[in-house]
Structure 1
Amino acid sequence: MNDYQVLVVGGGPGGYVAAIRAAQLGFKSALVEKDTVGGLCLNWGCIPSKALLRNAEVLNLIKNSNEFGIKIDTFTPDFSEAVKRSRKVVKKLIAGVGFLLKKNNVELISDAAVLANKNEIQLQNSGKTITADNIVIATGSNFREFPNMPIDEKRVITSRQALELKEIPNKIAIVGGGATGIEFGYIFNAYGSEVTIIELTDRILNKEDADVSKELTKIYEKKGIKILTGTQIEKLEVNDKSVKANIITDGKESTLEFDTLMVAVGAEANTKNIGLEDVGVELDNGWIKIDNYMNTSVNNIYAIGDVTGKLLQAHVASHQGVVAVEKIAGLNPEPINNYYDMPRAIYCEPQVASIGLTEEEAKSQGYKIKTGTFPLAASGKALGLGDTEGFSKLIFDSEIGELLGAHMVGSNVSELLGEIGILKHLEGSSKEIGDLVHPHPTMSEILKESALGSLGSAIHI
């Protein structure tokens, strides 16, 4: 008889959720974590960065307080205090996860784990061996290193070091125009940095709808953020005072100098030196191969979260964890057949929120589409908030009216993903969204107006 029925390796948002769900289903469950529970997301990712984003948002509100009839003549932004606040938030949530594990009788084992065979784990610090009927790998991902951009954690940093800065750099380059680069670009800009975002492809947020990229580019440039697309970093020259970036844009070489350069591109799975190959777990370019129920190539070993390389989002990892454990329990959960229907959010201001296919993806898959777009400048709620930048864009199958994708830029639009996610899951149509009564005045009305717009019957535009 094995020591545990379900053993989870890795205590991030996928791992701890899987361990708790296993305990709820009556399994003897344990969680092995070598560092602090919560994983990269809680400790050095989504949670502390969102706390800093809130500080930046408040700072920008103060800067624009005159628009609301409030005169604030002097104020002093202190980034070190913002960082302290973010660490307090992290500490509180870590304690919360620990409480949940204890409440659900999940045994927390603080150690590093290596697979010895498909039912056995060797603990590296204690030297002990533990066994389990089922093992869930949730070891996450980490920052990818690039030979042309070596991280020294002083002048050349990742988001990990950015979350611990005591002072804001006067000039900073952010390499990568994805979610991380866009969010930190907003933070540094709010605190007064001269920000340059360097993106290799032809647009920032290149996995989002092209209209989203275009809108956010316009908004960021209005804020004074410089965006260089189609730009490659050749090499860096680092000294005690600055970092020089030798770049190529449209075939032309140039050199830019910054106080700090932040690498915000690339991730790699934490699959090395944990015994995966020794027990026959198949990898695909370093990521663990899984099926729609999170099964690996070894029948009792599952993998969830970033380590699978599917969609590197905390909520995706948590959902994968639940599906995996419920499959183990024989509950026949709904398989995850695609990941483009998972909600995605970027928490700059204005926010970016999306789900489903982009217009380009829908067309490439052969759909005949209709789109409806509604600008926030026509929203009563947005006008009242003083946040009129952005839009809502819904994409429908023109033949049957089914919602294919939703893409939004605007204040707090991430909060609309719950509604649009339900509609997407239930195969909602343009008519059904248009018929649904939304409270007034709310941001949710932009969804109704977008749906009506696709039908040619929008009222407020």
Structure 2
Amino acid sequence: MADKFDLIVLGSGPGGYVAAIRATQLGLRTAIVERELLGGICLNWGCIPTKALLRSAEIFHYMQNAGDYGLKASGIEADLDAVVKRSRGVARQLNQGVAHLMKKNGITVFMGKGELQGSGRLQISGQDGSQEITGKHIIIATGARARDLPFAPADGERIWTYRDAMTPREMPSKLLVIGSGAIGIEFASFYNDMGVDVTVVEMLDRIVPVEDAEISSFLKKSLEKQGIEILTGAGVESIETAEDTLRASIKPADGEAAEHEFSHAIVAIGIQPNTEGIGLEEQGITMERGFIQIDEFGRTGAEGLWAIGDCVPGPWLAHKASHEGIAAAESIARELGNEEVHPHPLNRNTIPACTYCHPQIASVGLTEAKAKDAGHDVNVGNFPFIGNGKAIALGEAEGFIKTVFDASTGELLGAHMIGAEVTELIQGYTIGKELETTEAELMNTIFPHPTLSEMMHESVLSAHGRALHI
């Protein structure tokens, strides 16, 4: 007899395990199926361990520039093996934390590969053989993987995915980063801070192309000042690897393709959803480019079948997946008779985005260009870090905060930041958007002094020509 559950979650990333926890809080008998490691890519190979690497690089950067703070330091060296070991230790600790959460919440965990059989049935193949479980509802949270270059698939030796870049066998001497989204730019920043000669190639006309144009321009200048070579409007046409080197043919925007030599390359050109081989073909759901199409609560259109996270349309962010997981779990509980729960649909316009390069970037809502394209007459505020006392005291006077408002209603349409700790600051504007705040309310809010958050206030004041410290 197959084990029977109210809900089965296929995948235990930040969408899957959060959905499972919320479901048990609502009284549902819940199982989670994971083929590799609890916590998924984010906790084991993505968000968290990369931040551990970047933290090590940040400390190394500060130590090398100790003189800027009136300190003396000599003989500073980076131990790559120790840096990687620390990162993997952080990932291991969090993996164990998820296992604890599963046990604490009474969630049944099955380790193995799950495949949909229809009618709520899921076949699990693992080390202990094969078994079938059934659920009234199933959430697909299988995530995604790095997309390969068709002419140069990752080999783990010279051509790396993000996984290879997180556990390098050796420090590159000259690194090519293909793609300038968050993953590419974070690794470019990490390896540059670690002393590697880095080149970034981006096919579009600017780096971090989903960000506001002013943020992209500022980041490019900052990274180039740090020694990173950036080629925009350029494409990698071919890669040939040898025992200790690789040659890449790069075609710039306004010239002929030329060969360049590197020791390694990181491919960061996007993701591919993990939706093959899990039995989706017979479920009658809509797919686009491999991504499962859903409604605002995660319904796929097939009875009892839901999907969340990186296997559905983006943005492909851990916190978006968690929010989707909660919305789906609550919707399922309501369908199973819990009328006291009231799920909230995902509002894609209030999802913050963070990139942990040096300097950091963070944003929420519409860029200035997209706000204008949407028909808004806008008021734009802008305040530089150099005008903030705390930023100067920290030795972090590089960056700015930009806010975009609807000129007629005062609605906060978007906020865009670059500089120290902006990935922590952005949540203030995210809450503001969720509460539908206006520029008047933000101008009347008291911000503590001395803090970096004062720049958030000044940027809002700037939209009306009222900035005080510039």
Provide the rounded CA distance (Å) in 1 between the counterparts of 2:149 and 2:427. Answer: 37
AA of the residue aligned to 1:277: E
* Structure 1 unaligned residues grouped into runs of 5+: none
The answer to whether the aligner puts 1:340 opposite 2:349 as a matched pair is: yes
Give yes or no for the alignment of 1:198 onto 2:207.
no
Equivalent in 313, 324, 329 of residue 328 of structure 2: 324
Q: CA deviation at 1:76?
A: 1.6
Query: Is 1:215 paired with 2:218?
Result: yes
Trace 1:122-133 onto structure 2 (pairs within 5 A): 122-125=123-126, 126-133=129-136
Of 201-210 and 428-437, more deviation after overlay is shown by 428-437
Structure 1 CA distance for aligned equivalents of residues 394 and 54 of structure 2: 18
C-alpha deviation, 1:122, in angstroms: 0.8
Q: Do 2:149 and 2:267's aligned partners in 1 also have CA atoms closer than 8 Å?
A: no
Shift of residue 419, structure 1, vs aligned partner: 1.2
SS in 2 for 1:8: strand
Q: What is the TM-score when the length of structure 1 is the normalising length?
A: 0.98
Task: Tell me by how many angstroms 1:247 deviates.
Answer: 1.3
Taking the TM superposition and a 5 Å limit, the aligned residue runs for 1:127-166 are 127-166=130-169
Deviation string 1:241-280 (CA, Å, 9 cap, x unpaired) is 1110011112421111000011011211100010011122
8 Å CA contact 1:234, 1:245 repeated in 2: yes
The answer as to 2:239 corresponding to 1:236 is yes
Q: State whether structure 2 residue 308 is matched by structure 1 residue 304.
A: yes
> After the TM superposition, which residues 342-357 of structure 1 pair with which residues of structure 2 at under 5 Å, given as runs?
342-357=351-366
Correspondence for 1:279 among 280, 283, 286: 283
SS in 2 for 1:374: strand
> Could you tell me which of 239, 255, 260 is aligned with 2:259?
255
- 1: distance between equivalents of 2:409 and 2:119? 48
How much has 1:148 moved relative to structure 2? 2.1
Please say if residues 206 and 213 of structure 1, whose CA atoms lie closer than 8 Å, have aligned partners that are also in contact.
yes
Check the 8 A contact 1:115/1:121 in 2, yes or no. Answer: yes
Residue aligned with 2:298, SS: coil
Query: Quick one: which of 387, 411, 432 aligns to 1:423?
Result: 432
Distance in 2, Cα, partners of 1:22 & 1:444: 36
2:112 maps to which residue? 111
Q: Give the distance between the partners of 1:196 and 1:420, measured in 2 at CA.
A: 33
Distance 1:346 1:191 in 2: 18
The answer to whether the 8 A contact 1:118-1:279 is kept is: no
- Conserved? CA contact 1:148–1:233, under 8 Å: no
Shift of 1:332: 2.7
In 2, the alpha carbon distance for the partners of 1:177 and 1:135 equals: 35
Cross-structure match for 1:401 = 410
Q: CA RMSD in A?
A: 1.1
Q: Which amino acid aligns with 1:81?
A: A
- Equivalent pair of 1:352/1:409 in contact (CA under 8 Å): yes
Give yes or no for contact 2:3–2:132 (8 Å, CA) kept in 1. Answer: no
Report the Cα distance in structure 1 between the residues aligned to 2:169 and 2:447, rounded to whole angstroms. 45
* Residues 372-413 of structure 1 deviation map (CA, whole Å, 9 limit, x = unaligned): 000001110100000011100000000011100000001011
Whichever residue aligns with residue 349 of structure 1, its letter is H
Q: For residues 355 and 95 of structure 2, what CA distance do their matches in structure 1 show?
A: 23
Q: CA deviation at 1:284?
A: 1.4
Corresponding letter in the other structure for 1:365:
A
Q: Which amino acid aligns with 2:191?
A: F
Q: Give the TM-score normalised by structure 2.
A: 0.96
Distance 1:19 1:36 in 2: 16
Aligned-pair CA distance for 1:340:
3.2
CA distance in 2, matches of 1:361, 1:118: 43
Cα drift, residue 2 of structure 1 = 6.9
For the residue of structure 1 that corresponds to 2:257, the secondary structure is strand
Secondary structure class of the residue paired with 1:134 = strand
Query: What is the CA distance between 1:329 and its match in structure 2?
Result: 1.3
2: CA distance, partners of 1:343 / 1:245:
35
Instruction: Determine if contact 1:232/1:247 at 8 Å carries over to the other structure.
Output: yes
